[in-house]
Amino acid sequence: MSDSQSIDVVHGGTKVLTMETLNPNVVKMEYAVLGPIYIRALELEKELAEGTPKPFGAILKGNIGDCHATGQTPITFVRQVIALCTYPLLLEDPMFPEDAKQRARGILAACSGHSVGSYSASPGIAVFQKDVAAYISQRDGQPCCSNNIFLCTGATEGIRIVLKMLMTGKSGSEQAGIMIPVPQYPLYSATLTEFNACPIPYYLDEENNWSLEVDELNRALTAAKGKCIPRAICVINPGNPTGQVLSKENIENIIRFAHKEGLVILADEVYQYNVYAKGSQFFSFKKVLIEMGSPYCSHELASFMSTSKGFMGECGFRGGYCEMANFQDDVQKCLLKSISARLCPPVLGQIVMSILTNPPQEGDSSYAKFQDEKSNVLSVLAEKARLITDLFNSIEGISCNEVQGAMYAFPRIYLPDKAIDAARKLNQNPDFFYCSQLLEETGICTVPGSGFGQKEGTYHFRITILPPLEDIRRILGLFKSFHLRFLDKYK
């Protein structure tokens, strides 16, 4: 803002918007994934580019689940269909397989004016809603109505839209209370702060591989009584940042709890393809809820999915969907009205979601390649999950639960008292203090556990499992030597 700055100096102009007059909820909200550590990493990257000598040659962005940025290659069929839809002259090009062309023709026929440049209906293109519904039906062996699906600009927008519906529009003891896990993905805390809602934190049990215990849900809800109006419980499965995968029994208990307490369930299931551990399996809340029968099968559930994770990792396309199960008809109409003012989610992101949920079938010319690419991505991720868990646990002063799913390790770091004191003197969270030094000395960019929430007196950080296998050993080697130096420095 150098230009405006200089103008200010010249005219000493007083401003309408200051930190005092800004929306206080926006001032308060924090999103640690792209917080101070990441911002410092970008500065260091700039300094490196300008030739400033550093103890490292490059920044290793382990802060965000950005698959293609860390070398994952796109699924060919996805990109072929997008290219064909964007530039239909390519439908004559022999380099494209017939099924990709057929798919593109079908999509263009479903676009107003046969152009992906037209707005779609606010909840998304109807045939894509049907693709998603068919995917869910097949996944769960249970019916899914395409009217209950709306596509969104990444899962993020869907989660914000549903949370918005749950707000009371009031403050004080009449604020909406939303149960969120600790540790949690900070989109939830950031959005609740922005909406001036009351988070009701429930703790995952690190000693039991980040399990979600109903006793803890009861404790958390009781503690919130009188402070807000509890409206919903958010569950992230597979977990982010914790990587745990919930068992069917666990999900049943959560549903019983939500039903007993009259809480809408928000199921963040964007990592449903990312399950690696032996014995772990993904169960959707929708499937479990329906199979539980009355009265649970009619309980209100919103489930979220994304094109950014799984095996496609198409983050830049901003594709997502939400399934609204068991909501009242007029409530759902109201939600559709509420999304109409934003017009529609990006059409190409919708196409990616339609391919995720309606991939090439056996017999299609692209089937084999699609399956190869998919299973290759997922098996390599599983290998990385195992390797990173093992490497962290081989380091003194670190313990790391098994990365059963998702895309992150969330190791616990046992910090010496001297390090904690040194951090406090700087008015920093001890894990922030630790992650800052890790960045400055090694170029490894992580997210401090305090950005996700953690049990008082415990310290963690989140790092993605995404870097290429051959780099992971090197990165963890760098990390280990830093960590031992750190322990030595503050022992």
Q: Smallest distance, Å, CB 175 to its own copies?
A: 12
Closer residue to its own copies, CB minimum distance, 389 or 429: 429
Q: Go through 371-399 and write b for each residue having 16 or more CB atoms within 10 A of its CB, e for each that does not.
A: eebbeebbebbbebbbbbbebbeebeebe
Closer residue to its own copies, CB minimum distance, 336 or 395: 336
Question: Are the CB atoms for 74 and 316 separated by under 8 Å?
Answer: no
Q: Smallest distance, Å, CB 242 to its own copies?
A: 19
Closer residue to its own copies, CB minimum distance, 332 or 437: 332
200 conformational bin, left if phi > 0, alpha if psi -120 to 50, beta if neither: beta
Which pairs count as long-range contacts for 135-140, CB under 8 Å and 24+ apart, including other chains?
135/356, 135/357, 135/358, 136/284, 136/286, 136/323, 136/357, 139/284, 139/287, 140/284, 140/286, 140/287, 140/290
Closer residue to its own copies, CB minimum distance, 15 or 425: 15
Give the one residue of 211, 218, 247, 338 binding its own copies; rule: CB under 8 A. Answer: 338
Phi, psi of 127 (to 5 degrees): -65, -30
Q: Which residue has the tokens 């190791």?
A: 411
Give the one residue of 60, 132, 347, 385 binding its own copies; rule: CB under 8 A. Answer: 347
User: Contact between 16 and its own copies (CB under 8 A)?
Assistant: yes
Give the one residue of 45, 194, 383, 440 binding its own copies; rule: CB under 8 A. Answer: 194
Stretch that binds its own copies, among 140-148, 249-257, 384-392, 475-483 (CB under 8 A): 140-148
Show the site string, 267-306: x = touches its own copies by CB under 8 A, - = not: ---------------------------xx-xxxx------
Query: Between vectors from CA 188 to CA 235 and to CA 214, what angle results, nearest 5°?
Result: 30
Q: How far apart are CA 482 and CA 479, in angstroms?
A: 5
Give the one residue of 52, 172, 207, 328 binding its own copies; rule: CB under 8 A. Answer: 328
Q: How far apart are CA 118 and CA 101, in angstroms?
A: 20
Give the one residue of 99, 131, 140, 157 binding its own copies; rule: CB under 8 A. Answer: 157
> Which parts of 376-405 interact with its own copies (CB under 8 A)?
none
Q: How far apart are CA 190 and CA 272, in angstroms?
A: 23
Closer residue to its own copies, CB minimum distance, 70 or 354: 70
Structure tokens at 191: 């959005």
User: Contact between 470 and its own copies (CB under 8 A)?
Assistant: no
Question: What sign for the dihedral angle of Cα 351, 353, 354, 358?
Answer: positive
> Which parts of 64-83 interact with its own copies (CB under 8 A)?
64, 66-74, 79-80, 82-83
Q: How far apart are CA 268 and CA 311, in angstroms?
A: 17
Q: Smallest distance, Å, CB 324 to its own copies?
A: 8
User: Contact between 134 and its own copies (CB under 8 A)?
Assistant: no
Q: Smallest distance, Å, CB 344 to its own copies?
A: 7
Question: Are the CB atoms for 74 and 312 separated by under 8 Å?
Answer: yes
> Which parts of 239-268 interact with its own copies (CB under 8 A)?
262-264
Closer residue to its own copies, CB minimum distance, 191 or 357: 191
Phi, psi of 409 (to 5 degrees): -105, 145
Q: How far apart are CA 317 and CA 399, in angstroms?
A: 36
User: Contact between 109 and its own copies (CB under 8 A)?
Assistant: no
Stretch that binds its own copies, among 52-60, 242-250, 314-322, 448-456 (CB under 8 A): 314-322
User: Contact between 113 and its own copies (CB under 8 A)?
Assistant: yes
CB atoms within 10 A of CB 425: 9
Stretch that binds its own copies, among 108-116, 235-243, 355-363, 398-406 (CB under 8 A): 108-116
User: Contact between 48 and its own copies (CB under 8 A)?
Assistant: no
